[in-house]
Structure 1
């Protein structure tokens, strides 16, 4: 499975969605198109693309990183803005680890009280 993350090979299999679940595929394409519409949204496209990049960095989706970087640049994002989007993602990931650590400590304290 060395080519699992090969975008060219991987994208070929996207056709299966269209063939096997065309109604869901079309609904997803329409939804995605609405979310990333160039106009008619309250949040400008550049900011929505930067938000998408932060999420992609957090979920570590290489396909989303590639696509939304291109789309962010096309929407006018700078390298400085992309870098800050990465730092936003890093801060939230760190914050998540910090708060989940507190949860673990809460469980630990409860276990201490049981003994």
Structure 2
């Protein structure tokens, strides 16, 4: 991970988005800010950050894991809550493997009814 992930230096590449697709970057930033605004949402920010952390772990995005784990702690999440979010992500990934494994039986044609 350390070979390609640099929390500070990697942000410099946002300049490419700003130069090449500033309209999309502006729209994405507004969208992201709306999703993670502190007030005015049904789900409290701490829980949205824990959801984001679990999704980040599921998609294995190191940048998102970095940001959302820190943001969750800033909103009051405990290490226990971070651990449970990680286990939720793990269960979902494992469940996906289990469920999609059934497709191997279905699609192989080897299973006899």
**How many angstroms apart in 1 are the aligned matches of 2:40 and 2:51?**
17
Structure 1 residue 7, shift from structure 2 partner: 2.9
Aligned partner of 2:41 in structure 1 is 41
After superposing on structure 2, the runs of 4+ consecutive aligned residues of structure 1 that deviate more than 3 Å are none
Following superposition, the deviation at residue 111 of structure 1 comes to 5.2
Shift in Å, 1:112: 6.1
Q: Normalized against structure 1, the TM-score is what?
A: 0.90
In structure 1, the gaps of 5 or more residues are none
Whether contact under 8 Å (2:105, 2:111) holds in the other structure is no
Root-mean-square deviation over aligned CA pairs: 1.5
**How far apart, CA to CA, are the structure 2 residues paired with 1:9 and 1:38?**
27
Q: Corresponding residue for 1:84?
A: 84
Give the TM-score of the pair, scaled to structure 2. Answer: 0.91
Residue in structure 1 matched with residue 32 of structure 2 by the alignment: 32
Q: Which has the higher helix share?
A: 1
Asked if structure 1 preserves the Cα contact closer than 8 Å seen for 2:53 and 2:85, the reply is yes
Matches within 5 A, 1:51-66: 51-66=51-66
> Unaligned 5+ residue runs, structure 2?
none
